Structure 1
Amino acid sequence: MPSTSPARTAGRIVLGTFLLFAGTSHLTFAREEFAAQVPPWFPAETDLVVIASGAVELALGGALVAAPRRHRATVGWVVAAFFVAIFPGNISQLVTRTDAFGLDSDRARAVRLLFQPVLVVWALWSTGAWRAWRSKRLSDARPPA
Protein backbone atom coordinates (compact mmCIF):
# COMPACT_ATOMS: atom_id res chain seq x y z
CA MET A 1 0.00 0.00 0.00
CA PRO A 2 1.45 3.41 -0.89
CA SER A 3 2.63 5.52 1.99
CA THR A 4 1.08 8.85 2.67
CA SER A 5 2.06 12.03 4.43
CA PRO A 6 0.35 15.39 4.83
CA ALA A 7 2.47 16.80 1.98
CA ARG A 8 1.64 13.90 -0.37
CA THR A 9 -2.03 14.09 0.56
CA ALA A 10 -2.11 17.84 -0.09
CA GLY A 11 -0.24 17.34 -3.37
CA ARG A 12 -2.66 14.63 -4.48
CA ILE A 13 -5.72 16.73 -3.58
CA VAL A 14 -4.33 19.84 -5.30
CA LEU A 15 -3.49 17.86 -8.46
CA GLY A 16 -6.92 16.22 -8.39
CA THR A 17 -8.59 19.60 -8.00
CA PHE A 18 -6.49 20.95 -10.87
CA LEU A 19 -7.66 18.09 -13.11
CA LEU A 20 -11.29 18.55 -12.04
CA PHE A 21 -11.04 22.24 -12.96
CA ALA A 22 -9.29 21.49 -16.26
CA GLY A 23 -11.87 18.83 -17.14
CA THR A 24 -14.71 21.21 -16.38
CA SER A 25 -13.09 23.95 -18.45
CA HIS A 26 -12.68 21.51 -21.37
CA LEU A 27 -16.43 21.06 -21.39
CA THR A 28 -17.41 24.69 -20.80
CA PHE A 29 -15.57 28.00 -21.09
CA ALA A 30 -12.15 26.95 -22.48
CA ARG A 31 -13.08 24.58 -25.29
CA GLU A 32 -11.49 26.77 -27.96
CA GLU A 33 -8.27 27.09 -25.96
CA PHE A 34 -8.03 23.32 -25.56
CA ALA A 35 -8.88 22.80 -29.24
CA ALA A 36 -5.68 24.72 -30.05
CA GLN A 37 -3.70 21.88 -28.47
CA VAL A 38 -5.16 19.10 -30.60
CA PRO A 39 -2.54 18.35 -33.26
CA PRO A 40 -3.81 18.87 -36.82
CA TRP A 41 -2.63 15.36 -37.74
CA PHE A 42 -4.65 13.69 -34.97
CA PRO A 43 -7.20 11.38 -36.66
CA ALA A 44 -10.30 12.51 -34.76
CA GLU A 45 -12.63 15.48 -34.76
CA THR A 46 -11.10 18.24 -32.62
CA ASP A 47 -14.17 18.98 -30.49
CA LEU A 48 -14.61 15.28 -29.75
CA VAL A 49 -11.00 15.10 -28.55
CA VAL A 50 -11.54 18.13 -26.31
CA ILE A 51 -14.72 16.66 -24.84
CA ALA A 52 -13.21 13.19 -24.36
CA SER A 53 -10.04 14.52 -22.75
CA GLY A 54 -12.17 16.71 -20.48
CA ALA A 55 -14.18 13.68 -19.38
CA VAL A 56 -10.95 11.76 -18.73
CA GLU A 57 -9.58 14.66 -16.69
CA LEU A 58 -12.76 14.72 -14.61
CA ALA A 59 -12.47 10.99 -13.95
CA LEU A 60 -8.78 11.20 -13.11
CA GLY A 61 -9.26 14.24 -10.88
CA GLY A 62 -12.05 12.48 -9.02
CA ALA A 63 -9.92 9.37 -8.64
CA LEU A 64 -7.00 11.38 -7.25
CA VAL A 65 -9.26 13.02 -4.69
CA ALA A 66 -11.39 10.03 -3.70
CA ALA A 67 -9.64 6.74 -4.53
CA PRO A 68 -9.08 4.45 -1.55
CA ARG A 69 -5.47 4.22 -0.44
CA ARG A 70 -4.99 0.72 -1.91
CA HIS A 71 -5.73 2.08 -5.42
CA ARG A 72 -3.75 5.31 -5.27
CA ALA A 73 -0.55 3.95 -6.79
CA THR A 74 -2.49 2.65 -9.79
CA VAL A 75 -4.28 5.99 -10.11
CA GLY A 76 -0.89 7.72 -10.00
CA TRP A 77 0.46 5.63 -12.88
CA VAL A 78 -2.69 6.24 -14.95
CA VAL A 79 -2.56 10.01 -14.33
CA ALA A 80 1.16 10.07 -15.21
CA ALA A 81 0.44 8.13 -18.42
CA PHE A 82 -2.31 10.62 -19.28
CA PHE A 83 0.12 13.52 -18.91
CA VAL A 84 2.55 11.72 -21.22
CA ALA A 85 -0.23 10.97 -23.72
CA ILE A 86 -1.28 14.61 -24.04
CA PHE A 87 2.28 15.91 -24.37
CA PRO A 88 2.21 15.74 -28.21
CA GLY A 89 -0.58 18.33 -28.09
CA ASN A 90 1.71 20.72 -26.25
CA ILE A 91 4.48 20.05 -28.75
CA SER A 92 2.04 20.61 -31.61
CA GLN A 93 1.03 23.96 -30.14
CA LEU A 94 4.70 25.01 -30.22
CA VAL A 95 5.42 23.63 -33.69
CA THR A 96 2.27 25.07 -35.27
CA ARG A 97 2.75 28.34 -33.37
CA THR A 98 -0.83 28.27 -32.15
CA ASP A 99 -1.73 30.86 -29.53
CA ALA A 100 -3.86 29.66 -26.60
CA PHE A 101 -3.95 30.12 -22.84
CA GLY A 102 -1.93 33.30 -23.18
CA LEU A 103 0.94 31.42 -24.79
CA ASP A 104 1.54 33.83 -27.63
CA SER A 105 5.24 33.35 -28.30
CA ASP A 106 7.49 30.44 -29.15
CA ARG A 107 9.37 31.03 -25.91
CA ALA A 108 6.20 30.85 -23.79
CA ARG A 109 5.06 27.69 -25.58
CA ALA A 110 8.53 26.13 -25.15
CA VAL A 111 8.69 26.97 -21.45
CA ARG A 112 5.31 25.33 -21.00
CA LEU A 113 6.76 22.05 -22.29
CA LEU A 114 9.02 21.97 -19.24
CA PHE A 115 6.02 21.70 -16.93
CA GLN A 116 4.66 18.43 -18.36
CA PRO A 117 7.40 16.30 -16.74
CA VAL A 118 6.67 18.12 -13.48
CA LEU A 119 3.05 16.96 -13.72
CA VAL A 120 4.17 13.38 -14.34
CA VAL A 121 6.47 13.45 -11.31
CA TRP A 122 3.78 15.15 -9.22
CA ALA A 123 1.28 12.37 -10.04
CA LEU A 124 3.76 9.62 -9.17
CA TRP A 125 4.99 11.30 -5.99
CA SER A 126 1.66 12.45 -4.56
CA THR A 127 0.04 9.04 -4.95
CA GLY A 128 3.05 7.10 -3.68
CA ALA A 129 3.16 5.26 -7.03
CA TRP A 130 6.89 5.65 -7.54
CA ARG A 131 7.67 4.67 -3.95
CA ALA A 132 5.38 1.60 -4.15
CA TRP A 133 7.06 0.48 -7.39
CA ARG A 134 10.54 0.90 -5.91
CA SER A 135 9.58 -0.97 -2.73
CA LYS A 136 8.12 -3.85 -4.73
CA ARG A 137 11.17 -3.98 -6.95
CA LEU A 138 13.50 -4.08 -3.97
CA SER A 139 11.47 -6.76 -2.19
CA ASP A 140 11.37 -8.88 -5.36
CA ALA A 141 15.15 -8.58 -5.67
CA ARG A 142 15.86 -9.86 -2.15
CA PRO A 143 16.78 -13.51 -1.89
CA PRO A 144 14.32 -15.66 0.07
CA ALA A 145 15.22 -16.02 3.75
Structure 2
Amino acid sequence: MRSSGIPRSTPARTIARWALGGAMVFAGLSHLFWARQEFQAQVPDWTGRVIDKDGVVVASGVVEIMLGTTLVALPRERSRIGMILAAFFVAVFPGNIEQYTKAKDGFGLSDDRSRLIRLFFQPVLVAVALWSTRPAKG
Protein backbone atom coordinates (compact mmCIF):
# COMPACT_ATOMS: atom_id res chain seq x y z
CA MET A 1 0.00 0.00 0.00
CA ARG A 2 1.07 3.51 -0.72
CA SER A 3 0.87 6.11 2.01
CA SER A 4 -2.25 7.46 0.27
CA GLY A 5 -4.07 4.23 1.08
CA ILE A 6 -4.49 3.36 -2.60
CA PRO A 7 -3.25 -0.16 -3.39
CA ARG A 8 -0.39 -0.25 -5.90
CA SER A 9 -1.02 -1.46 -9.40
CA THR A 10 1.28 -2.42 -12.23
CA PRO A 11 1.28 -0.22 -15.35
CA ALA A 12 -0.21 -3.05 -17.44
CA ARG A 13 -3.09 -3.51 -14.98
CA THR A 14 -3.68 0.23 -14.85
CA ILE A 15 -3.83 0.47 -18.65
CA ALA A 16 -6.16 -2.55 -18.84
CA ARG A 17 -8.39 -1.14 -16.09
CA TRP A 18 -8.64 2.28 -17.76
CA ALA A 19 -9.32 0.67 -21.16
CA LEU A 20 -11.99 -1.56 -19.64
CA GLY A 21 -13.52 1.43 -17.85
CA GLY A 22 -13.61 3.43 -21.08
CA ALA A 23 -15.09 0.49 -22.99
CA MET A 24 -17.80 0.08 -20.35
CA VAL A 25 -18.76 3.76 -20.50
CA PHE A 26 -18.85 3.60 -24.32
CA ALA A 27 -20.93 0.41 -24.25
CA GLY A 28 -23.29 1.92 -21.70
CA LEU A 29 -23.81 5.04 -23.80
CA SER A 30 -24.47 2.88 -26.85
CA HIS A 31 -27.14 1.02 -24.85
CA LEU A 32 -28.87 4.32 -24.19
CA PHE A 33 -28.54 5.96 -27.58
CA TRP A 34 -27.46 4.49 -30.92
CA ALA A 35 -27.57 0.70 -30.40
CA ARG A 36 -30.64 0.10 -28.28
CA GLN A 37 -32.37 -2.13 -30.83
CA GLU A 38 -29.26 -4.21 -31.43
CA PHE A 39 -28.85 -4.78 -27.68
CA GLN A 40 -32.48 -5.85 -27.44
CA ALA A 41 -31.58 -8.84 -29.65
CA GLN A 42 -29.37 -10.05 -26.82
CA VAL A 43 -31.96 -9.79 -24.07
CA PRO A 44 -33.37 -13.23 -23.26
CA ASP A 45 -37.06 -13.62 -24.09
CA TRP A 46 -37.89 -14.77 -20.55
CA THR A 47 -37.05 -11.32 -19.13
CA GLY A 48 -40.28 -9.99 -20.65
CA ARG A 49 -42.16 -11.50 -17.72
CA VAL A 50 -40.44 -9.04 -15.37
CA ILE A 51 -39.38 -6.05 -17.45
CA ASP A 52 -39.55 -5.27 -21.16
CA LYS A 53 -36.45 -5.68 -23.30
CA ASP A 54 -35.91 -1.96 -23.71
CA GLY A 55 -36.00 -1.57 -19.93
CA VAL A 56 -33.31 -4.24 -19.59
CA VAL A 57 -31.16 -2.50 -22.20
CA VAL A 58 -31.51 0.89 -20.53
CA ALA A 59 -30.86 -0.50 -17.04
CA SER A 60 -27.79 -2.44 -18.17
CA GLY A 61 -26.51 0.64 -19.99
CA VAL A 62 -26.76 2.72 -16.82
CA VAL A 63 -25.00 -0.02 -14.84
CA GLU A 64 -22.22 -0.21 -17.44
CA ILE A 65 -21.66 3.55 -17.29
CA MET A 66 -21.53 3.43 -13.49
CA LEU A 67 -19.14 0.48 -13.42
CA GLY A 68 -16.85 1.97 -16.07
CA THR A 69 -16.74 5.32 -14.30
CA THR A 70 -16.13 3.93 -10.83
CA LEU A 71 -13.50 1.54 -12.14
CA VAL A 72 -11.36 4.58 -12.96
CA ALA A 73 -12.60 7.17 -10.47
CA LEU A 74 -12.48 5.11 -7.26
CA PRO A 75 -9.02 3.51 -7.10
CA ARG A 76 -9.42 2.50 -3.44
CA GLU A 77 -12.45 0.42 -4.40
CA ARG A 78 -11.08 -1.08 -7.61
CA SER A 79 -10.84 -4.63 -6.26
CA ARG A 80 -14.47 -4.58 -5.14
CA ILE A 81 -15.59 -2.93 -8.39
CA GLY A 82 -13.62 -5.52 -10.36
CA MET A 83 -15.53 -8.31 -8.63
CA ILE A 84 -18.86 -6.56 -9.28
CA LEU A 85 -17.90 -6.04 -12.93
CA ALA A 86 -16.90 -9.71 -13.29
CA ALA A 87 -20.28 -10.70 -11.78
CA PHE A 88 -22.01 -8.34 -14.23
CA PHE A 89 -20.25 -10.03 -17.16
CA VAL A 90 -21.45 -13.40 -15.85
CA ALA A 91 -24.99 -12.06 -15.35
CA VAL A 92 -25.32 -10.86 -18.96
CA PHE A 93 -23.88 -14.07 -20.42
CA PRO A 94 -27.32 -15.74 -20.77
CA GLY A 95 -28.15 -13.03 -23.31
CA ASN A 96 -25.13 -14.02 -25.37
CA ILE A 97 -26.16 -17.67 -25.13
CA GLU A 98 -29.70 -16.84 -26.22
CA GLN A 99 -28.40 -14.81 -29.16
CA TYR A 100 -26.45 -17.90 -30.26
CA THR A 101 -29.09 -20.56 -29.57
CA LYS A 102 -31.94 -18.59 -31.16
CA ALA A 103 -29.82 -17.27 -34.04
CA LYS A 104 -30.57 -13.62 -33.27
CA ASP A 105 -28.66 -11.12 -35.40
CA GLY A 106 -26.98 -8.13 -33.84
CA PHE A 107 -23.69 -6.26 -34.00
CA GLY A 108 -22.65 -7.99 -37.18
CA LEU A 109 -23.14 -11.41 -35.62
CA SER A 110 -25.32 -12.77 -38.38
CA ASP A 111 -24.16 -16.39 -38.50
CA ASP A 112 -23.82 -19.21 -35.99
CA ARG A 113 -20.04 -19.28 -36.21
CA SER A 114 -19.57 -15.61 -35.24
CA ARG A 115 -22.15 -15.89 -32.45
CA LEU A 116 -20.38 -18.99 -31.11
CA ILE A 117 -16.94 -17.36 -31.20
CA ARG A 118 -18.33 -14.41 -29.27
CA LEU A 119 -19.30 -16.71 -26.39
CA PHE A 120 -15.63 -17.38 -25.72
CA PHE A 121 -14.87 -13.68 -25.17
CA GLN A 122 -17.09 -13.33 -22.10
CA PRO A 123 -14.76 -15.38 -19.86
CA VAL A 124 -11.90 -13.19 -21.12
CA LEU A 125 -13.80 -10.09 -19.97
CA VAL A 126 -14.33 -11.69 -16.54
CA ALA A 127 -10.62 -12.49 -16.30
CA VAL A 128 -9.55 -8.98 -17.37
CA ALA A 129 -11.94 -7.41 -14.86
CA LEU A 130 -10.46 -9.47 -12.04
CA TRP A 131 -6.82 -9.25 -13.13
CA SER A 132 -6.79 -5.51 -13.82
CA THR A 133 -8.27 -4.66 -10.44
CA ARG A 134 -6.06 -6.89 -8.33
CA PRO A 135 -3.42 -5.01 -6.30
CA ALA A 136 0.23 -5.57 -7.16
CA LYS A 137 2.10 -7.97 -4.88
CA GLY A 138 4.79 -6.66 -2.59
Structure 2 residue corresponding to 1:4, chosen from 5, 9, 22: 9
2:128 counterpart residue number = 122
Deviation for aligned residue 1:65: 1.4
Matches within 5 A, 1:46-65: 46-65=53-72
Give me the identity figure in percent.
56
Larger radius of gyration, structure 1 or 2?
1
Q: Determine whether 1:75 maps to 2:81.
A: yes
Deviation for aligned residue 1:3: 3.7
Matches within 5 A, 1:1-145: 2-42=7-47, 43=49, 44-68=51-75, 70-128=76-134
Deviation for aligned residue 1:45: 0.4
Cα deviation digits, residues 37-94 of structure 1 (max 9, x gap): 00111132000000000000000000111112x2110000000000000000000000
Cα deviation digits, residues 118-145 of structure 1 (max 9, x gap): 000000000117x78xxxxxxxxxxxxx
Runs of 4+ in structure 1 off by over 6 angstroms are: none
2:23 match: secondary structure: helix
Q: Where does the alignment leave 5 or more consecutive residues of structure 1 unmatched?
A: 133-145
Aligned residues: 131
1:41 match: secondary structure: helix
CA contact (8 A) 1:73 1:128 kept: yes
1:50 maps to amino acid: V
